Structure 1
Amino acid sequence: MYGTEITEIYELIHQGRGKDYQAETEEIARRARSLLPGARSLLDVACGTGAHLRHFAGLFDHVEGLELSDPMVEAARGRLPGVTVNAGDMRAFDLGRTFDVITCMFGSIGYTAGVTELESTLRGFARHLAAGGVVAIDPWWFSETYLDGYVSADVTTVDERTVARVSHSTREGDASRMNVHYVVADARSGARHFAETHLIRLYTRAQYEAAFDAAGFAVEYVAGLHSGRGLFVGARR
């Protein structure tokens, strides 16, 4: 689970890598409304610090977030006054209401522990959708497209703070183990280093599609979006 250190620099590093939160939210809103033209409410699952949620708030009448990491919940609440950010686990939550659209971005769905848990998580999404509601999920890399041993490196400077990020990812059974190292430096505090490890499940595209079907969704896979991971978009049957 993401802690305080990464929460402080999360958006800075991804914006420095070229992530366009506004363009992604506009694309998803367009695709959601092509399936449900009157969509007015949205739940962003695993919303992190609220970077997508902030833009969704300008596109839907009512938005909420759900996030497991306490530091990220607090960060999202601080930046989005008036928006409900629920503390909870995407694998087991009950908000007591339904939404027209549910999103889950940044490959977060890959933190499910296997096909059974993936299906139960998607069933939980379905329970929180109105009739005909739309789900939009940015998957983690497919097992068949994952690059074993992949190394990524980025350096960005914003407001006199520099962040360097280096990651190395390896296949470990049916999952990818990604070790990420950060160096954060500014004039007042100097330089500091911390590291994280993420174990993220590698599903095949067919496994994703079967899980959506089992959870009651008719989905389409849109290739090429979200750094090449693509996007699943579908409606609750």
Structure 2
Amino acid sequence: MSRTALYTDLSGYYDLMCADINYQAQSQSLQRLHQIFGNRGTRHLDLACGTGPHVRHFLDAGFDSSGLDINQPMLDLAAKRCPEARFTLQNMCDFEVDAPLDLITCFLYSLHYCDGLANLKACIGRVHQALGSGGVFSFNAVDRLKIDNSSSVSHSASQDDALFWFRSGWHYGGEGERQSLRLHIERHHQGDIEFWQDEHPMVAVTFAELEALLDPLFEVHIFEHDYDKILPWDQASGNAIFVCVKR
């Protein structure tokens, strides 16, 4: 099953797939970082917004929030969750906005969905163009050289008398600019089991390479991947939060 077909067919289950994510903590963490590094503005865009849970928390915090995604069924669900927000069907590597923004976010490692370094560079350029003076771009990322192919996360959730089991993990072949997110889903219902297997192609990058792409356009700050505390990156962990202030 292709990536598009998987997310179209299972868009109604996407929130279950992410049921273990603390969207509020993630949103509040980047709001705090925006208060420290940003221009105090409230115009916000969430890249790869999915069904809009992060946008919901930004709206509730007083932001003029919007979102974009490449999957229309996801955006339809986001519009129901956040009827006051603006959602557009756009690719984050080639998007446009109607006015300068103060904060652009990209959660859940979604920046890696840029397929290849050329597209990643294009995305960074688009973000820079879309931000106003003192605007902030914040996202989380994984360093390709620190990916453990044997590691994965899993959880289960229930919906409509069915039990779902989700497992996902990074995979990197050891060279090149391609990594993947491997996803396995099971649906158990009345003795029947359905399976979905999918592998999402994603861009592989080291933090040094990523910082080099960002540095000409942004003042870059890197923090530990901890949404409860603001801690400088320890130069060792393979996950980090980037806060980039427009030059």
- In structure 2, what is the equivalent of residue 49 of structure 1? 51
SS of the aligned residue for 1:113 comes to coil
- In structure 2, what is the equivalent of residue 236 of structure 1? 246
Q: Which has the larger displacement, 148-157 or 34-43? A: 148-157
- 1:209 is the counterpart of 2:211: yes
SS of the aligned residue for 2:146 comes to coil
Return the offset for 1:160.
3.9
TM-score (norm 2): 0.85
For structure 1, which runs of at least 5 residues remain unmatched after alignment?
none
Cα offsets for 1:50-93 (capped at 9, x unmatched): 01111111123311101111211111112211211111000001
- How many residues align? The count is 232
TM-score (norm 1): 0.89
- In structure 2, what is the equivalent of residue 154 of structure 1? 155
Q: Name the CA distance, whole Å, in 2 between partners of 1:225 and 1:159.
A: 34
Contact 2:24 2:57 in 1 (8 A): yes
Q: Which has the larger displacement, 70-79 or 150-159? A: 150-159
| C-alpha distance 6-127 of structure 1, shift in aligned 2 (>3 A) | same
For structure 2, which runs of at least 5 residues remain unmatched after alignment?
228-236
Contact 1:115 1:211 in 2 (8 A): no
Cα offsets for 1:212-237 (capped at 9, x unmatched): 113x1101111133697221012101
- In structure 2, what is the equivalent of residue 32 of structure 1? 34
Q: Name the CA distance, whole Å, in 1 between partners of 2:29 and 2:170.
A: 29
Cα offsets for 1:157-176 (capped at 9, x unmatched): 35644211133543234322
Q: Name the CA distance, whole Å, in 1 between partners of 2:138 and 2:66.
A: 15
Residue of structure 1 aligned with 2:16, choices 12, 18, 38: 12
Return the offset for 1:120.
1.7
Q: Name the CA distance, whole Å, in 1 between partners of 2:131 and 2:31.
A: 15
Q: Name the CA distance, whole Å, in 2 between partners of 1:31 and 1:152.
A: 27
Cα offsets for 1:11-43 (capped at 9, x unmatched): 22222xx31100110110011011125221100
Q: Name the CA distance, whole Å, in 2 between partners of 1:176 and 1:161.
A: 32
| C-alpha distance 168-31 of structure 1, shift in aligned 2 (>3 A) | closer
SS of the aligned residue for 2:18 comes to helix
Q: Which has the larger displacement, 221-230 or 121-130? A: 221-230
SS of the aligned residue for 2:133 comes to strand
- In structure 2, what is the equivalent of residue 179 of structure 1? 182
Q: Name the CA distance, whole Å, in 1 between partners of 2:42 and 2:153.
A: 38
- In structure 1, what is the equivalent of residue 24 of structure 2? 22
- In structure 2, what is the equivalent of residue 80 of structure 1? 82
SS of the aligned residue for 2:24 comes to helix
Q: Name the CA distance, whole Å, in 2 between partners of 1:49 and 1:70.
A: 10
RMSD (Å) for aligned C-alpha atoms:
2.2
Q: Name the CA distance, whole Å, in 1 between partners of 2:223 and 2:171.
A: 26
Alignment of structure 1 residues 27-176 onto 2, 5 Å: 27-36=29-38, 38-139=40-141, 141-157=142-158, 160-167=161-168, 169-172=170-173, 173-174=175-176, 175-176=178-179
SS of the aligned residue for 2:73 comes to helix
SS of the aligned residue for 1:57 comes to helix
| C-alpha distance 60-234 of structure 1, shift in aligned 2 (>3 A) | farther
